[in-house]
Amino acid sequence: MATDDERKRTGWTGFTRRAFIKSWGAGAVAVTVSQGAIGREEQPQGPLPGDQRLKVTLEVNGRRHPVLVEPRWTLLHVLREELGLTAAKVGCERGECGSCTVLIDDVPRYACLTLAVEAEGARIETAEGLMDGEALGQVQASFVKEDGLQCGYCTPGQVVAAEGLLRANPRPSFDEIRRGMSGNLCRCGAYAHIFNAVSDAAKHRKG
């Protein structure tokens, strides 16, 4: 292979191996940089990452709570872990047991299936908000009177569901009570007592 001195003397102008490698390396870097720039320009703006928090204001039990939430967080998670309202219980977390029932604009809803960001601007009520100061609310008192609980785990959700039923239908028949409470399961099987508690609350309901 000709040396650099020999190429100078003979006037040889072809590519040397060293020059080829240098030119190839520079070209590869330029292509890589340009492709990266094009990729950045063409990349569409996607949805927010699941762990990026948003500021929302939730009205819970008559109080407004500004909170930072991740878009994927459920209302149940925010109520319990961010606001410290633990009456709504973690059960199946797929909308079957009803232990997480809350009222959203007077309608019973499963908090485990409701995103916190969905509930912004709505009136949210939990079992804590149904109390009369430090005293039990009427539905809660009727559950105690009629022994409408055993282990008590499902009771807050049962109470909230009953409250929602009575707001929509203050004088329900027994069959209407059974249908209205069908979305809440009791693993202890205290259904007869639960139905009696809802009926008693209807009798004593003011207005």
- Say whether pLDDT at 49 is over 90: no
For strand 63-69 and strand 54-60, is the pairing parallel, antiparallel, or unpaired? Answer: antiparallel
Evaluate whether 154 touches 99 at the Cβ level (below 8 Å).
Answer: yes
Q: Structurally, how many domains does the chain consist of?
A: 1
Residue span of the structural domain in which 97 resides: 54-204
Segment 132-183, tens digit of pLDDT: 888 999 999 999 999 999 999 999 999 999 999 999 999 999 999 999 999 9
The answer to the question of residue 44 being in a domain is no
The predicted structure's pLDDT at residue 31: 43
Q: How far is CA 97 from CA 74, 78, 165, 181, in A?
A: 16, 19, 17, 11
Residue 33 CA to residue 68 CA, distance in Å, equals: 38
The answer to the question of residue 181 being in a domain is yes
The predicted structure's pLDDT at residue 26: 52
The answer to the question of residue 165 being in a domain is yes
- Say whether pLDDT at 83 is over 50: yes
- Say whether pLDDT at 36 is over 60: no
The predicted structure's pLDDT at residue 3: 55
The answer to the question of residue 75 being in a domain is yes
Residue 179 backbone dihedrals phi, psi, to 5 degrees? -70, -40
Q: Would you place residue 32 in the very low, low, confident or very high pLDDT band (cuts 50, 70, 90)? A: very low
The answer to the question of residue 184 being in a domain is yes
Q: What is the mean pLDDT of the chain?
A: 85
The answer to the question of residue 125 being in a domain is yes
In the structure encoding, which two tokens stand for residue 76, read together?
A: 């149940």
CATH number for the domain harbouring residue 68: 3.10.20.30
Residue 139 CA to residue 127 CA, distance in Å, equals: 10
The predicted structure's pLDDT at residue 205: 84
- Say whether pLDDT at 201 is over 60: yes
The predicted structure's pLDDT at residue 152: 95
The answer to the question of residue 13 being in a domain is no
The answer to the question of residue 97 being in a domain is yes
- Segment 165-169 long-range contacts (CB within 8 Å, at least 24 positions apart): 165/108, 165/198, 166/139, 166/198, 166/201, 166/202, 166/205, 167/106, 168/106, 168/107
In the structure encoding, which two tokens stand for residue 69, read together?
A: 């939430």
The predicted structure's pLDDT at residue 5: 57
- Say whether pLDDT at 43 is over 90: no
No. of helices (H) and no. of strands (E), the chain: 7, 5
Q: Write out the H or E segment, with its range, that includes residue 107.
A: strand 107-110
Nearest-CA neighbor of 180 among 193, 198, 196, 155? 198
Identify each DSSP E strand in 38-100 by its residue range: 54-60, 63-69
